[in-house]
Amino acid sequence: MSADLIVRRLGVQPYEPVLKAMQRFTDERGQDTADEIWLLEHEPVFTQGQAGKEEHLLAPGTIPVVKVDRGGQVTYHGPGQLIVYLLLNLKRLKVGVRELVALMEQAVVDVMASYEIEAYPKADAPGVYVDGNKLASLGLRVRRGCSFHGLALNIDMDLSPFQRINPCGYPGLEMVQVKQLAASADMAAVSQRMLEYLTERLGYNAVVEKQQLD
């Protein structure tokens, strides 16, 4: 069993202050610092990962573009998309990076199965898909054995900004969201199921909930 887990439900947040908070938390944490999972939505933003290429930004318009320190290419975040940031001490958990990526993907697959949605990962294209359309995107950074960033699951959002980019570097990739596939699903229920899945699989003793950043 690992130490306790702190869960922060942060509502809708601008991107850059949360990015800086993740980086600061990771830089300042010690060996005894409790792991955290942040659940939130972002105000509209395109984020360009370390492998991101400018040609995949087709027509960002008034939506800001932020270059970030996670893996991967360019994606879009906006209200109605569940963001799950995993700020975990992987050494303490004895979890490898690939194992954590697989766990995130399987969390989406299994939670979607509870809504009778058949979702699946792809070995050559990280993320989770339904009928060839992308449902969830993943991107991580590991520093000093600790992870930050995480996953983005489309639930009930405006998908049109994805047409202004090549999502994850794939021209013509179509996006899909949970609400199109299961009318009964909503942000609160899906986020709770995701949280329960991750905390159970990672084996935390107890969960302490907070509504804001310290």
Among the options 93, 130, 140, 168, which is catalytic?
Answer: 168
Residue by residue, DSSP assigns 71-84 as: SS-EEEE-TTEEEE
What DSSP letter does each residue of 12-24 carry, written as one string? EE-HHHHHHHHHH
Containing H/E element for 35?
A: strand 35-42
Q: Amino acid letter at 130?
A: V
Alpha carbon of residue 13 to chain centroid? 14
Q: For residue 148, give both structure tokens.
A: 């930050």
Tokens 């992308």 locate to: 134
118 vs 128: CA distance, rounded Å: 10
What's the Cα-to-Cα distance from 3 to each of 34, 96, 124, rounded to whole Å?
6, 18, 34
146 included as an active-site residue: no
85, β-bridge pairs: 38, 150
Q: What is the DSSP letter of 7?
A: E
Question: What's the CA gap between 177 and 180, in Å, rounded?
Answer: 6
Question: Which amino acids are annotated catalytic?
Answer: 168
